Amino acid sequence: MAKPNYAFEKRQRDLAKKQKKEEKRLAKSEAQPPAEEETTPQPPVDETTEQSDH
């Protein structure tokens, strides 16, 4: 009786898992249109100007 090749089975499972994950990723990217960010970035808050009650 031939012994099972666990490494081959694991590789096949991993490849199937990768393929399914990639298909899901592609389906998600097609379902959602790319978000166009038109918001202007806010300037960083300067802590020295906010603490002027000294």
- Taking only the tens place, the pLDDT of each residue in 1-54 is 889 999 999 999 999 999 999 999 999 998 886 566 666 667 676 666 655 556
Token look-up 């399914």 returns 20
Q: In Å, how far are 40, 41, 43, 53 from 48, measured between CA atoms?
A: 23, 20, 14, 11
Q: Which two tokens stand for residue 28?
A: 């998600």
* pLDDT score of 49: 60
Instruction: Report the C-alpha gap between 43 and 52 in whole angstroms.
Output: 19
* pLDDT score of 51: 59
